[in-house]
Each structure stands twice: as C-alpha cells, then as structure tokens.
C-alpha cells in the first residue's frame, strides 16, 4: 500500500466528527473539549483540534491523529483501523503489505461469513432444517429474530461444511482449521459443529468472528454448548453477543441490559427490550465492560436467578464499576432466566428493568433473603458475606448508608458493623493513584508560564508572537526554538498567519507534539478577554519571576562572600542587588 493512500484517508476523515460519535464534545475556543474516553475523569481535559486534526488528553497524556484514536478506542491494530476509516470515507484500499496477520484475518472473516450463509440457508430454507425450525417455534423464537441474528443449522454430517467451503468456495483446508470451523484427526478434516443450532458471533462492527452451537433437544449426550476456539479474530471474553444489532438502541437508552446466553437476549429483544447484550457467562470481563462503556453509562444485570450466590458475578460488578459504569440489578421475580420471563411475563420483565435496584441494595436484600437474620448463626453468615462487599465501596456516603441499613436490619449498632468491615481493610483491593497533572509537578513555574503564554497567543492571535517580541521572555530551549521557527514562518507567510495547520506540518517531529499541546491546551479563561492585555500581564509575570530569581542569586552570593571576608566584592553585588530591587518594584507597579 502506498503511503499517499494512508494520507488520503487521513485527509478525508474529519476527526471532530469521528470522535463526536464516541465522546460528547463542546466548543472551547478554536478547539473542542470533552471527557477523556481513555481514563476516568470528572473535569474535561480531552481536547480535539479541527485545525490540526489531532486530539490530546491533558489528564492521561494520550494524543494523536484519527488512526491513533481508533486504535486506542477499538483496541485494534493499524490495518483494522485503516480498513474502518477507508470504508467510512469511501476509499478502496490497495493490498496491504508488511502487516503480519492482517490478510489472514480478512480471509478468516470471509470464510466465517461463507459458513454463516450456509448455516443460515440450511435452517431457513432446506428440508433438513424443518425439525430445527419447529424447535425454535416451540421456544417462541420468531422468523424476524432468526433473520436478524442470522441463526443457522449445522446438520448431522461429519464434513458438510468442509466440503461446501473447499469444493464450492475453493477455500484452503488449513484456513478453515485456523478459523476454528473444522478439526483435524488422523489427517482428515471434520466439521467442528454438527447437529447443532448455530448462533453466529459478531464483533460490534458486524464481522463474523466465530460461532456458538447449541445441541438440539433429543440429541445424544454431548455438551449443551460448544464455541469456536480462540483464533486471530475471536478471543473468548472480549466480545458481546448481539452488540452489532443492539448498539444503537443501547446508545439511545444510555444503558445496556446484560444477560447470559443467546436465548436470554433474543427473547427479551422480541418483546421490546432492544438495548440488550449477552456475555455468554455469569460475569463481565474487563474487556467486555470496557467495550460497553463506549456505548452507555449504565449496566443493568439481568442474569440467572442464582446470580446472588455467584461470587464470580459479584466480582464482575467491581470490574464494571472500575470502568466508570453505574451498575443496577434486575430482579427476575422467581423466573429462571430472562428468556423464561420474556416468554411468560413480557410486561413484568419490562417493569423489572424499570425498577432495577442499585447493586449494593440488591446484594444486601438478596443476602438477607438467604439467611435468617433473627438467629445468631444467620447474623454471622450475613456479616461474613456482606463485609467484603461493604469494604470495597469507594463512595463513603454510599458505604455509610449501606452500613446503617445492614446494622438496622441485623438489630445491632453501626459501630459493630463498621468494626467488622474494618477487619477486611487489609484484603481490600488496592486503590489507584490519580496521576492527572503529575507531569506539571516536574516543570518549573517559569516553564508553565511560558507554555501558558504561547498557548494563549497561538489559540487567539498568533501574530502577537512577533508584535510583542515574545522571544525575549522565552528561556525554555524547546519553546524558544518553536518561537524562532514561527517568526521565520510569519515573515514568509504573505496572507493568513493565523492558519496554523501549514506551519504545524512544516515542523520537525520533536516539535509537532509540543506545538499541538500548546494549541490544544484549555484557554486560560472561559469568558472573552483582551488578549493583548492578558499577554502583557503574563510577560510581566515572567519578568517578575526572572527578577526575583536574580535577587535570590545575588543574595546567596553576598552571603557566601561575607563568610569568606571578600567585602569589596560584597559592595559591588549589593549595588547590583539594589538595582534589581528597583527593577522589580517598577515591574510590580506596572502590573
């Protein structure tokens, strides 16, 4: 692939429009600002420049162009992101060379899609699929859902798929094995999925990455479900079933109803619960929670009825909350799972979702349901089960409220519950240190002022770099070099000096990031200010700081010379110190 095609795609992508699909951005001067999607923050420090077509977070430090954003956001490699953006702007990609595994991934996507088409055809159109269609009708699964989720059938023959793909589609058997579609025994290939209902597994872009096969009723004793093995395109625990279909509804509702299995998703979807995904297990993984956080701010767990006793699922809630998501629990009111409840009480399911409890309220209520809180033994079990949960509540107000509730229901003092909780502090999960802004701690006040000065000028009126002779107060060598280059650029630029994209493109690599950071920094003041007066004020502040440094240096030298008895030299420095004091007073009077 030619480098110019990479640049063509980059030039056609509007980074503000792209990032706005994932982050709520608001205008901030000549830039846009929002909450960083790559780390948890309450005060926006994520900036996007339409002019330079870059982003920068001043909290976690991450920055770059449209490619870097999607690679970090989607946790994808460059070829995958290139393809996404090429499709977005309508560029036909030339063959990619030099990217290990990319071509093979594309081939696996393609062969998986071909397998899906055969499975789907066998279920909905072939006579061999009649018994499976009858089974789905009995389960309450309608034709609309079968087509929407592309359900299929793997017939009870050892190599039906293998023969179709190799003979009809001319695919290499080695590729089929790498895709997890077939297994090899004694030199022969056999279909992995046989006599099973097939659920295609797709990533949120709609690529078919694997399959899940459910044994049909009446079949021989085998595993109820089998899934594709890990491949180049499929990793267990990193995808969410149905997200490719339901992601827009999740965005619209700003919450996802999380269920365990495929039928637990399809049945609620059929009765109007469209913002639903399945995790294919009882606990969300960090990767799944991170994926959900891109589409919503809340997660409603509607898991099987024994969820309250599943410690793995409880740990999953910590994972969800660590991604900044609010967690609520849906009470299934005695039904075995969401599939059963959707089939037998669809209205009740929708109401249960509306009344979903906060996670800690659910834990407390479910624990008190399990044990008799009027007995000593019951109280001890409740204490043992709830103390490890209470100790990990980060919000102190929520923790205090929960402790008070538990104490009241146990009929003991809050201090007694608190003491039990404090015993668990040693095993509490380690907290994270907030590193936001730490890079500034290593910088001197002088450098921060110089950065602030240049940031203000470049964001508002770049010509002031020359008009105010800014170079005279810039001592940091990198910033000074940037100013010198801009002075040369402004002399050569015949027209719009304020258009900085051309200047940025001419900068050496080591200065591009510095310039981008200055241009993307949040303005010093939100309201309108007189830029020239603000610039003059910062310049005088820098000059005051510099003069104070001179005075401190002279004072230290005088003390050393007095100790050595060099009084003649002391007298000379005292004159210099006196002049420095006068200059400082004059600067302060003018400020």
C-beta atoms surrounding 288 within 10 Å:
25
pLDDT of residue 411: 92
Higher pLDDT, 86 or 324: 86
The radius of gyration of the chain's CA atoms, rounded to the nearest angstrom, is: 32
Q: What is the pLDDT, as a whole number, of residue 437?
A: 38
The number of beta carbons lying within 10 Å of the beta carbon of residue 477 is 8
**Mean pLDDT, rounded, for 548-556:** 85
**Mean pLDDT of all residues in 389-412:** 88
- Among the listed residues 141, 161, 162, the one whose alpha carbon sits nearest the alpha carbon of residue 151: 141
The predicted pLDDT at position 407 comes to 93
pLDDT for residue 525: 47
Sheet holding 31-34, edge to edge: 26-28, 31-34, 46-49, 54-57, 63-64
pLDDT number for residue 442? 39
Please give the pLDDT value at position 100.
57
Among all chains, which residue has been given the structure tokens 């695919």?
171
Give yes or no for a contact between 63 and 56, defined as CB atoms under 8 angstroms apart. yes
Mean of pLDDT values over 544-564: 85
Distance CA 498, CA 486 (A): 11
CA 9 to chain centre: 24
Place of tokens 């980060």: 394
Give the whole-number percent of the chain exceeding pLDDT 70.
89
Residue 428 structure tokens: 């509490």
Res. 276: pLDDT tops 90: yes
Residue-wise pLDDT for 212-245, tens only, equals: 999 986 555 678 899 999 999 999 888 999 999 9
Domain 102-227 in CATH 3.90.980.10? The answer is yes
What is the H or E stretch that residue 300 is in? Answer: strand 298-301
CA distance linking residue 66 with residue 11, whole number of Å: 10
Q: Round the average pLDDT of the chain to a whole number and report it.
A: 86
Rounded CA-CA distance 26/235 in Å is 36
Encode pLDDT of 116-162 as tens digits: 999 999 999 999 999 999 999 999 999 999 999 999 999 999 999 99
- CA distance linking residue 308 with residue 305, whole number of Å: 8
For residue 139, the tally of other CB atoms under 10 A from its CB is 14
| Measured CA distances, 279 to 186, 264, 311, 313, 316 (Å) | 35, 10, 16, 11, 11
Q: Which of 42-46, 249-253, 464-468 has the highest mean pLDDT?
A: 249-253
Half-sphere exposure of 250 (CA within 13 A, CB side): 25
Q: Which residue has the higher pLDDT, 211 or 532?
A: 211
pLDDT band at 283 (very low <50, low <70, confident <90, very high): confident
Pick from 262-266, 409-413, 444-448, 574-578: least confident: 444-448
Which of 363, 239, 250 is closest to 299 using CA atoms? 250
Q: How confident is the model at residue 4 (pLDDT cuts 50, 70, 90)?
A: confident
- 403, 421 Cβ separation under 8 angstroms: yes
Confidence of residue 425 (pLDDT cuts 50, 70, 90): low
| The pLDDT value given to residue 420 | 87
Whose CA is closest to 40, among 56, 57, 22? 57
Residue from 276, 285, 289 nearest 245 by CA: 276
Task: Based on DSSP, count helices (H) and strands (E) in the chain, helices before strands.
Answer: 27, 16
| Alpha-carbon gap, residue 380 to 243, rounded angstroms | 42
Q: Which residue has the tokens 């891109």?
A: 294
pLDDT attached to residue 333? 87
Q: And the tokens for 253?
A: 């509702």
Please write the tens of the pLDDT for every residue from 337-386. 999 999 999 999 999 999 999 888 988 988 898 899 999 999 999 998 88
pLDDT bracket for residue 20 (50, 70, 90): very high
Q: C-alpha distances in angstroms, 9 versus 30, 38, 95, 532?
A: 24, 24, 15, 39
The CATH number of 3-89 is 3.90.580.10
pLDDT digits (tens, 9 = 90+) for 90-118: 998 887 665 656 788 889 999 999 999 99
| Residue 317, pLDDT score | 78
55: its two tokens: 């982003």
Which residue's entry shows tokens 């200010």? Answer: 529
Looking at domain 243-362, does it have CATH number 2.60.40.420? no
55 band by pLDDT with thresholds 50, 70 and 90: very high
Report the pLDDT value the prediction gives residue 591, as an integer from 0 to 100.
55
For CA atoms 204, 207, 210, 213, give the dihedral sign. positive
Tell me, what's the pLDDT at 124? 96
- Band (489; pLDDT cuts 50, 70, 90): confident
What's the half-sphere exposure (Cβ side, CA atoms, 13 Å) at 458? Answer: 28
The 3-class secondary structure across 487-554, one letter per residue, is HHHHHHCCCCCCCCHHHHHHCCHHHHHHHHHHHHCCCCCCCCCCHHHHHHHHHHHHHHHHHHHHHHHH
pLDDT score of 385: 86
pLDDT of residue 432: 35
Report the C-alpha gap between 108 and 310 in whole angstroms. Answer: 36
Q: Token pair of 588, please?
A: 């302060």
Q: 572-580: which pairs have CB atoms within 8 A and are 24 or more residues apart?
A: 577/551, 580/547, 580/550, 580/551, 580/554
List the domain boundaries for the chain.
3-89, 102-227, 243-362, 371-427, 439-584
What are the pLDDT digits (tens) for 434-458?
A: 333 333 433 578 888 888 899 888 8
């Amino acid at each position: 692939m030619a480098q110019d095609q990479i640049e063509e795609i980059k030039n056609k992508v509007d980074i503000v429009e792209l990032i706005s699909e994932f982050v709520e951005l608001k205008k901030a001067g000549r830039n846009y600002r929002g909450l960083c999607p790559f780390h948890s923050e309450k005060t926006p420090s994520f900036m996007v420049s339409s002019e330079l077509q870059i982003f920068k977070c001043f909290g976690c430090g991450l920055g770059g162009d449209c490619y870097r954003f999607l690679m970090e956001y989607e946790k994808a490699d460059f070829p995958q992101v290139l393809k996404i953006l090429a499709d977005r702007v309508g560029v036909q990609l030339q063959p990619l060379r030099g990217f290990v595994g990319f071509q093979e991934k594309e081939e696996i996507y393609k062969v998986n899609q071909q397998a899906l088409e055969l499975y789907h055809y066998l279920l909905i159109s072939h006579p061999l699929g009649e018994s499976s269609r009858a089974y789905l009708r009995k389960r309450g699964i309608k034709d609309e859902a079968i087509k929407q989720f592309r359900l299929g059938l793997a017939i009870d023959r050892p190599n039906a798929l293998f023969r179709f793909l190799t003979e009809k589609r001319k695919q290499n058997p080695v590729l089929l094995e790498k895709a997890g579609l077939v297994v090899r025994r004694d030199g022969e290939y056999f279909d992995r999925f046989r006599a099973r209902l097939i659920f295609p597994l797709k990533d949120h872009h709609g690529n078919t990455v694997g399959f899940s096969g459910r044994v049909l009723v009446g079949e021989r004793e085998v595993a109820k479900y089998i899934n594709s093995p890990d491949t180049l395109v499929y990793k267990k625990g990193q995808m969410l079933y149905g997200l490719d279909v339901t992601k827009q509804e999740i965005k619209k509702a700003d919450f996802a109803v999380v269920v365990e299995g495929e039928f637990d998703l399809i049945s609620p979807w059929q009765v109007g619960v469209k913002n639903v995904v399945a995790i294919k297990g009882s606990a969300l993984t960090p990767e799944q929670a991170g994926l959900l956080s891109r589409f919503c701010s809340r997660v409603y767990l509607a898991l099987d009825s024994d969820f309250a006793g599943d410690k793995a699922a409880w740990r999953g809630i910590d994972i969800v909350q660590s991604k900044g998501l609010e967690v609520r629990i849906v009470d299934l009111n005695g039904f075995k799972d969401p599939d059963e409840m959707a089939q037998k009480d669809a209205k009740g399911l929708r109401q249960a979702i509306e009344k979903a409890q906060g996670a800690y309220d659910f834990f407390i209520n479910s624990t008190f349901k399990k044990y008799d809180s009027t007995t000593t033994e019951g109280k001890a079990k409740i204490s043992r089960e709830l103390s490890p949960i209470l100790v990990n509540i980060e919000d102190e107000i929520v923790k205090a409220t929960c402790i008070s509730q538990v104490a009241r229901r146990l009929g003991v003092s809050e201090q007694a519950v608190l003491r039990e909780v404090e015993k668990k502090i040693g095993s509490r999960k380690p907290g994270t240190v907030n590193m936001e802004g730490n890079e500034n701690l290593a910088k001197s006040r002088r450098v921060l002022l110089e950065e602030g000065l240049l940031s203000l000028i470049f964001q508002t009126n770049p010509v002031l770099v020359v008009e105010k002779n800014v170079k005279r107060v810039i001592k940091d060598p990198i910033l000074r070099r940037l100013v010198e280059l801009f002075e040369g650029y402004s002399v050569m630029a015949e027209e719009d000096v304020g258009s900085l994209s051309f200047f940025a493109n001419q900068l050496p690599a080591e200065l591009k990031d510095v310039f981008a950071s200055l241009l993307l920094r949040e303005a010093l003041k939100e309201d309108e200010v007189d830029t020239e007066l603000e610039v003059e004020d910062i310049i005088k502040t820098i000059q005051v700081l510099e003069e104070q440094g001179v005075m401190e240096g002279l004072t230290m030298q005088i003390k050393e010379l007095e100790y050595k008895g060099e009084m003649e030299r002391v007298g000379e420095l005292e004159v210099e110190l006196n002049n420095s004091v006068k200059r400082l007073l004059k600067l302060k009077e003018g400020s």
